[in-house]
Amino acid sequence: MIAHAETTPPARHPLVSFILRWVLTTNHKEIGTLYLCLSFTLFLIAGAMAMIFRAELAQPGLQFITADFYNQMLTLHGLIMVFGAVMPAFVGLANWMIPMMIGAPDMALPRLNNFSFWILPFAFFLLLSSLFMEGGAPNFGWTLYAPLSTTYGPPSTDFLIFGIHLMGISSILGAINIIVTIFNLRAPGMTLMKMPLFVWTWLVTAFLLIMAMPVLAGVVTMMLTDRHFGTSFFEASGGGDPLIFQHVFWFFGHPEVYIMILPGFGIASQIIPTFARKPLFGYASMVYATVAIAGLSFVVWGHHMFATGMPLAAELFFMYATMLIAVPTGVKVFNWVATMWRGSMTFETPMLFAIGFVVMFTIGGFSGLMLAITPADFQYHDTFFVVAHLHYVLYPGAIFATMGAVYYWLPKWTGNMYDERLGKIHFWSAVIGLNLTFFPMHFVGLAGMPRRIVDYALPYAGLNLFTTLGAWMLGLTQLLFLYIVIKTIRGGEKATDQVWESAEGLEWTVPSPAPHHTFDTPPRVE
Amino acid sequence: MDAEQTEWDREKVQAAVCSDAGLMTSQIVILKTLVARGMSSLAGNRRKGWLIAPVWWIFPNGASAQGWDMRAGVTEMSQQVQMLHHVSLWICTGVGIVVFGAMFYTIFAHRRSKHPEPATFHENTKIEVLWTLIPTLILVGMAVPATLTLRDIEDNSDADLTVLITGSQWKWHYQYTEADIGFYSNMTTPLEQINNIEPKGENYLMEVDNPLVIPTNLKVRFLMSSDDVIHSWWVPDFAVKQDAIPGFINEAWTRVDVPGIYRGQCTELCGMNHAFMPIVVEVLPEDEFLAWIEDQRIANELAGDAAVAARSREWTMAELMPMGEDVFLTHCATCHQPDGAGQGIKYPALAAALDPARVISTGPIEAHLDRVMNGLSETEMQAWAPQLSDVELAAVITYERNAWGNNTGDIVQPLTVYEAR
Ligand SMILES: [Cu+2]
Ligand SMILES: [Cu+2]
């Protein structure tokens, strides 16, 4: 009797077992899928917010929303894109690909993996619920500057703070897992300097996460105690200093920028050699450049604060350090071009996204270099020029890279080829939308339009209309991406194991679709 | 010299410098004329006309070609900064042409259909060292002039005149430390224009009641601070942007050569009305500036006399109510709404019927006076005593106590306000 009871699990409703399967899964591929789905959902939500405030900005005057709601949309758009869309997307890709690329059977800490994912939906539930609270959602920008966010923040700010704590825990646990996996579960023969670049960049990113996220957690905790427990970290009347907030925030914030870009560098370094049919140029210098960028990223935070009244010596230091980052970044771009040089290229959708990434990221890099010039930054700072810059870096660096990666590995994940024609349409409409949206921002910024304003003077009108049209185009285009992915999951031309003619790496040695468990016995790497 | 006159002069002197919306508009006229000329020269080939038509569409309201770039401004510093901007822009453009040129060449020439056999090289130490060194040298070349300019910008010594600039939600307070003159500067663009009921004026959102007035050719030092959150004071034509931080004082300076009116905005998100915190600076020749200071002194004295006269007599409800409505609409309605209904949980309704829990505007007069005159710290309700005169305060409080159905019948006299100060 007892034996019988043990072997027959109680019959469950299929929906219940479906939910339990996903809630309890410890499989790196399933958790990767969960991360990617959550990320895309939040990407659409934060994108919709951008479309709302862009609609308001299409014309001078107030048309659709109030100034306060505009500020709420702006804040949530930034926070959700950074913590909800970009970071989980990269963690999702890491989950799917790192074990397969290093010949590991799974992540090293599968239950921790499950935990770090399932924290996230709650974190974003907390954050989004603030929209429905009395006083509205946080409305002080994603940079959370005190005292606007402390003394003057709406009650929902506390939910934001706890949401950020949860996101931080999730990221730190995820990063620990990735580091442990890479250091311990590599297949025999896979030395560090043989690892694919995606793995390398993620290793460095994971260290950045472990160093940066606790700082963010710390600074929002200081906000919390300032708000409720009578401390005065950021309150001059109590002996504090609002600038401490900015220093600590940007000490997290600048490494965060590279957290959102390094994995993109890795992805481009996987895709370009495959479609150029030629090995990556300068593998070793790519690795060193990644490490150099990560190191420098901790000593440049002051470039966000040139207008706060820093002493000359500090301004000079941050200017030089920031300019220096252009060197390793340049090396990367040159290496990608050299990889393409005298290759035999074809331009499938992943390659298009990778090239789009390199070109537009480089444009963002140029404006970044311009922003580093402190005297000129006094004119650029907090104008739309900065908005243009950061979106040229992040949209190609994070979103294009992720989408390129999805097209690149989707056949491996699903066993089906995606629709190449639709993929190309998606790429081109995204490129056009992106440039229509963000290129004119350079000009309105230079002409003098501050960022984060709900209404603007008449001279900026025409270009803002362009930006709004571009933003709507860019937003709607992503629905096509959703359609393409769903279509590929449901069927399509069968993919071979190799998928791409000259793709190299362990992930292409397993069948397509990749079975639930791969590399139960480690492969040998020559 | 009145404001328009000054602007007109500047246009003559500085036709090439685009510094405010008014000028931009005049330049778009020129631009459109040029384009129209181009159109007519294309008349022989009419099919090409559509190439130019989008110009009208891109600049329906008149951003000019000049307005697409960082402006040269009217100070030595702003011109140096523009030069730095151009140098780095051109360096980036040059590097971009080389990198993208190589890339598009290879995309074109090394596609599989043209170049079926890929090469196999994957490193070249020489070239890798080269493309690390060359950018480093270029960067050093950019850093040197930037360092020199920065040193000048940060040199706040030997100022001829000091102005203390204090930001508060959402206005600027200017104080001339040497002359004992001070005033608030509020945006004057009416709500009707913002809400698209009336057509928007030429200086929409960029106009204030009391501009900051400074002299030409003197080194003016700005001390920046704030009463509440962080604001940032930016006038692009001076290349001065400095955060105004509560509890701290920042420094910046300018020396303007060309008289005129220059406009800017707050550039640090400072709450709901961040977009509505413009800066207008009127730069006068030195002698006119001194005359202006004298006028201000006299005006201050007259205002003092008027205040004495005002509190020595009884005011009637009929006098105070219209004036109170004016004051309310100008200073209070952004938060409390023109109908006294407030907004959300943050900005309370003043109409007692709408928010019975709040009784200040129908309760004891002393509490009401105190709240309006001294504000409430740590909230957006600021102290109005330093900003408004006795009569204005009496009027607005009387208005609040009798408008929107509050009907207390109370009349607050300027003398009461004076005594409460
Ligand atoms: Cu940074
Ligand atoms: Cu502001």
Q: From CA B17, how far away is CA B235, in angstroms rounded?
A: 14
The pLDDT of residue A7 is: 58
Which listed residue (A451, A460, A467, A500) is catalytic?
Answer: A451
CB neighbour class for A210 (10 Å; exposed up to 12, middle 13-18, buried from 19): middle
pLDDT exceeds cutoff 80 at B345: no
pTM of whole model > 0.95? no
| Predicted pLDDT at B405 | 85
Expressed in angstroms and rounded, the spacing between residue B174 Cα and the centre of ligand 2 is 16
Q: What is the pLDDT of residues A221-235, one digit of tens each?
A: 999 999 999 999 999
pLDDT above 50 (res A269): yes
Least confident segment among A79-88, A157-166, B349-358? B349-358
Backbone angles phi, psi at A403, to 5 degrees: -70, -40
Ligand nearest to the CA of A148: 2
Using a CB–CB cutoff of 8 Å, tell me whether B375 touches chain A. Answer: no
Chain B residues touching A322 at Cβ < 8 A? none
Does A447 reach chain B within 8 Å, measured CB to CB? yes
Fold of A26-238: Cytochrome C Oxidase; Chain A (1.20.210)
Is A304 a catalytic site residue?
yes
Residue B37: is its pLDDT beyond 60?
no
Average pLDDT, chain B: 83
pLDDT-above-90 percentage for chain A: 93
Any idea which residue has 């060197």 for tokens? A327
Distance A298 CA to ligand 1 centre (A): 9
Cβ contacts of B247 on chain A, cutoff 8 Å: 235-237, 241-242
The amino acid sitting at A521 is T
ipTM of the complex: 0.91
Q: Is the pLDDT of residue B357 over 90?
A: no
Close Cβ partners of A312 (under 8 Å, ≥ 6 residues apart): B150, B151, B154
Tell me whether residue A472 is one of the annotated catalytic residues. Answer: no
Q: B234: left (phi > 0), else alpha (psi -120 to 50), else beta?
A: beta
Note the pLDDT of residue A13.
86
Cβ contact B267–A383 (<8 Å): yes
A456 and B CB contact within 8 Å: yes
pLDDT tens per residue, range B46-79: 344 344 444 444 443 334 434 788 999 999 999 9
- pLDDT higher than threshold 60 for residue B20: no
Q: What is the mean pLDDT of residues A7-18?
A: 78
Contacting B residues, span 248-267, partner chain A, CB-CB under 8 Å:
248, 250-251, 264-267
C-beta separation of A380 from A370 below 8 A:
yes
The end-to-end CA distance of chain B, in Å, is: 37
Using 50, 70 and 90 to split pLDDT, how confident is the model at B30?
Answer: very low
Q: Specify the pLDDT at position B334.
A: 83
With residue A355 as reference, give the H or E element that holds it: helix A349-372
Give per-residue pLDDT as tens, B280-319. 999 999 999 999 999 998 988 888 888 888 888 888 888 8
Alpha-carbon torsion angle A322, A325, A327, A332, nearest 10? -150
Least confident segment among B112-121, B214-223, B287-296, B347-356: B347-356
Class of domain A261-513: mainly alpha
Cβ pair B110:A345 closer than 8 A: yes
Alpha carbon of B81 to ligand 1 centroid (Å): 21
Can you give the pLDDT at residue B262?
96
Rounded to the nearest angstrom, the minimum Cα separation between A87 and chain B is 26
- Contact: B102, A448; criterion CB under 8 Å: no
Classify the phi-psi angles of A38: left when phi > 0, otherwise alpha if psi is within -120 to 50, otherwise beta: alpha
Write phi, then psi, for A429 (nearest 5 degrees).
Answer: -70, -35
What number is the average pLDDT over the span B379-387? 86
The string of pLDDT tens digits covering residues A65-107 is 999 999 999 999 999 999 999 999 999 999 999 999 999 999 9
Per the omega criterion (within 30 degrees of 0), is the bond before A147 cis?
yes
All structural domains of chain A with their residue ranges:
26-238, 261-513
- Rounded mean pLDDT, A305-329: 95
**Candidate list A165, A227, A304, A426, residue with the active-site label:** A304
The per-residue pLDDT of chain A, averaged, comes to: 94
The answer to whether residue B364 scores a pLDDT higher than 80 is: yes
Question: Would you put residue B164 in left (φ > 0), alpha (ψ -120 to 50) or beta?
Answer: beta
Give yes or no on whether A26-238 and A261-513 have one common fold: yes
Q: Do A344 and B194 touch (CB under 8 A)?
A: no
Q: What is the pLDDT of residue B275?
A: 95
| More confident call, A508 vs B378 | A508
pLDDT reported for residue B29: 38
Q: Is-catalytic flag, A256?
A: yes
- Set of chain B residues whose Cβ sits within 8 Å of the Cβ of A284: 123
Contact A308 B245 (CB under 8 A): yes
